[in-house]
Amino acid sequence: MNRHILISLVVSLICNYAISQETVNQIKRNVIKISAASMGILNGMISIDYERNLLYSNYFKLNVEGTYGKYYQTYTKDAFQSLPSFHSITSSINSLVGKKSHSFEFSLGARYSIINNDYYENINPLFPVLNIGYRYQNPYGKGLVFRTFLGTTGIGLSIGKAL
């Protein structure tokens, strides 16, 4: 009798493990998106972003993100005579809190801008990145990722795809 209980327990644990693995593998852990943000004439950016999920639970997700794009800011010595724009690389950590597809997002990171020597004396190449916003993302299927945010670069919008 004990042998039958032990065998039943082992079989049920194996089945439970297999079903759990199937569910975890369906979670889309990679996102590619395009983002744009602006604060009018003061500063703005457009970028292509790659995001990877590190932690996932029912109510909390933690992602790491890397972006490459163009960034502009006008508070330089020739601010309104030319619009200085720089290539920039951003790295950030994003936390998502919410149920199912709708989440509150909080991002914290740093942007490094490749700045021309003409503007270098007036602009620090490292710039903090702080964003808060809303994100829609289907956590189990391939599909649309939509994000709106407010942050250090202004009001922004992202659209992309979970892979």
Position 100 scores a pLDDT of 81
Mean pLDDT per block of 10 residues along the chain (163 residues) reads 56 50 59 91 88 88 94 62 75 92 94 72 79 87 88 93 88
> What CATH code would you report for 28-162?
2.40.160
The confidence score (pLDDT) of residue 40 equals 78
Return the pLDDT at 23. 46
Which pLDDT score, from 0 to 100, does residue 17 have?
A: 47
Query: Where exactly are the structural domains of the chain?
Result: 28-162
pLDDT of amino acid 85 = 75
Give how far Cα 111 sits from Cα of 10, 23, 25, 72, 108, Å.
Answer: 51, 35, 32, 12, 10
pLDDT for position 12: 55
